[in-house]
Amino acid sequence: EPEVTQTPSHQVTQMGQEVILRCVPISNHLYFYWYRQILGQKVEFLVSFYNNEISEKSEIFDDQFSVERPDGSNFTLKIRSTKLEDSAMYFCASSDIGGRSPLHFGNGTRLTVT
């Protein structure tokens, strides 16, 4: 069964550095998402992406964050000037018709900011 893949599985970075989290969504899906989960807490929506542009973003997704689909397969989340509170699991997801269908999640990237 097709799956969403995320790399790296774990990223350690120093405060103030930039990180890029990578995702390969399921190939025929049209909607792409980033969510994050601080340890043991709720799964928080960051951004959704459709038709090569952001369709919705949360208050968390400020100027520090950006997303890109640089080619036909990858979907990236860039976090500039990382802060300690950015430490979390970041999940990429994709779906074929948005929220009206199941989301398929990757196994996440654990970001640790020191």
Partner 1 sequence: SQQGEEDPQALSIQEGENATMNCSYKTSINNLQWYRQNSGRGLVHLILIRSNEREKHSGRLRVTLDTSKKSSSLLITASRAADTASYFCATDITGANSKLTFGKGITLSVRP
Q: Which residues bind partner 1 (CB under 8 A)?
A: 4, 31, 33, 35, 41-45, 48, 50, 55-56, 91, 93, 98-108
**Min CB(22)–partner 1 separation in Å:** 15
**Min CB(59)–partner 1 separation in Å:** 13
CB distance 33 to 88 below 8 Å: no
Q: What whole-number distance in Å separates Cα of residue 113 and Cα of residue 98?
A: 31
Indicate the residue among 75 and 91 with the shorter CB distance to partner 1.
Answer: 91
Indicate the residue among 77 and 106 with the shorter CB distance to partner 1.
Answer: 106
C-alpha dihedral sign at 2, 87, 76, 95: positive
CB distance 77 to 45 below 8 Å: no
Q: Collect all residues with Cβ–Cβ distance below 8 Å to 102 and sequence separation of at least 6.
A: 95
Indicate the residue among 73 and 101 with the shorter CB distance to partner 1.
Answer: 101
CB distance 5 to 94 below 8 Å: no
Indicate the residue among 44 and 66 with the shorter CB distance to partner 1.
Answer: 44
**Min CB(1)–partner 1 separation in Å:** 11
